[in-house]
Structure 1
Amino acid sequence: MAAFQTTPWRLISGVLGVMCLLLVAALGVLLKNSFTKQNVQPTFSPGPSTDLREGSGCCSCREKWIGYQCSCYFISSESKTWKDSRNFCVSHNSSLLQIQNRNELYFMNSISYYYWTGLSYSEEHHAWLWEDNSTLSQDLFLSLHPVNPKNCIIHGPSGSVMDADCGNKYRYVCKQQLI
């Protein structure tokens, strides 16, 4: 009969064991959800996809696109000229990256390469303009002085921004705004 006697230590170890199992199960669920949302790898997409993938609380993005603040982003793994990059984005109902605010800049600071943005120099307006002809907000980048008016803007690691010959090949970021 003494074999069935429970001591406080056995009770405590049993409770801790059950808690440990619950924590492991919760971790498994969290990891599963994390990997299914981050399953999107920045790779080349050969054509438009009708597959929708949840990207953030207010939008759904196509497969291989990343959702952030109600926009979808395609981060390429191949290099193209600015014009070819823009054409790729247009063919996917999007545009080259147009950074709207510092929060979006923070999102882009995690990238590892230089990427084309939708910003280029307009000789007609003597200013940097986005693809939709809107002007660059002065608080986004400290200064951009065109060395060569044929240049376009690349955005790189740690938020660095440079002008580069639009004919050079860099990776690119397409952005599709959903709102």
Structure 2
Amino acid sequence: MKGHRDESGMVLDIRNLSSPARSVGLNRFTNESVEAAASVSGGKLHKWIAGSFCLLCILQAALNVSLRLALPLQDSMNKEREEQKRQLDYIASQLNFLTKEREELKRKLEDFAHYAQQGWLYFNGSFYYISSITKTWQDSRDDCLQRGAVLAIISNTEEQEFIRLQQKVMWIGLTDRETEGVWKWVDETPLTASFWYSGEPNNFKHRNEDCVVINHYYDYENNWNDAACENLNFWLCEKDM
């Protein structure tokens, strides 16, 4: 006896069948085999689809977890970068400040050496130059301007004491030439602290005394005297450091 086995495992014995019966049997067997094969293939497809869907769900879940972990990490990294940038900006600003401070100190040291070599005296943030010859008040003022300075402006007791101890009759930058009795410094600031000698200013013997000189009363704190601007005296220049 001969038979036929399809992929579903079914066996059909057709050896003893007549031709018409054999034909019907083969057709029926073929249809059943196709349905069985389709059933088997469809099951595998369903399993494959189901497995793929589960895998996608797992991947999606893993992606969601990764994103939840990555977002706080990214935010933390951004904050850290911002903090580092802020610190770097602060360090850069401090470095720039220190560089400017160094340059300013260097300039002051160079100025100090320059003026000290030329015989200028240093006191409380200013340099002072005492002339070795005599001139009128206006010529003395012009000389100071040529030196990048002004006739001395005395603003406090300490400065007056320093100048008085030089023990020299000198022009300073105080005058009332513009308006009689209204004393102003050469930088146009009004007189506030004054150190007039007793009885001064007085336009002695009705002379026009419009310029101020440090008088020879060196033992007295107050030793200013008004004098005629055409007189010849030493002078004192002052330059802020």
For Structure 1 versus Structure 2, the TM-score category normalised by the shorter chain is 0.5 to 0.7
Cα deviation digits, residues 102-135 of structure 1 (max 9, x gap):
0001101212221000001144374111001111
Q: Which runs of 5+ in 2 are unaligned?
A: 1-109
Cα deviation digits, residues 68-87 of structure 1 (max 9, x gap):
00000001111000011000
Structure in which a larger fraction of residues adopt helix: 2
TM-score scaled by length of structure 1: 0.61
Q: Indicate whether 1:97 and 2:156 are aligned.
A: no
Q: Which runs of 5+ in 1 are unaligned?
A: 1-50
Residue 145 of structure 2 aligns to a residue whose secondary structure is: helix
Q: 1:66 to 1:138 in 2, by over 3 A?
A: closer
Displacement of 1:138: 4.2
Q: Give the 5 Å matches for 1:147-166.
A: 147=203, 148-156=207-215, 157-158=218-219, 159=221, 160-166=223-229
TM-score scaled by length of structure 2: 0.46
Alignment counterpart, residue 145 of structure 1, candidates 198, 201, 224:
201
Count residues with an aligned counterpart. 124
Q: 1:132 to 1:125 in 2, by over 3 A?
A: farther
Residue 84 of structure 1 aligns to a residue whose secondary structure is: helix
Alignment counterpart, residue 238 of structure 2, candidates 172, 175, 178:
175
Q: Find the counterpart in structure 2 of residue 11 from structure 1.
A: none
Distance in 1 of aligned mates of 2:121 and 2:179: 35
Distance in 1 of aligned mates of 2:117 and 2:148: 11
Distance in 1 of aligned mates of 2:225 and 2:125: 27
Q: 1:146 to 1:128 in 2, by over 3 A?
A: farther
Distance in 2 of aligned mates of 1:104 and 1:138: 11
Residue 87 of structure 1 aligns to a residue whose secondary structure is: helix
Q: What is the Cα-based RMSD across aligned positions, in Å? A: 2.5
**Percent of counterpart pairs with the same letter?**
26
Contact preservation (8 Å) 2:175, 2:211: yes
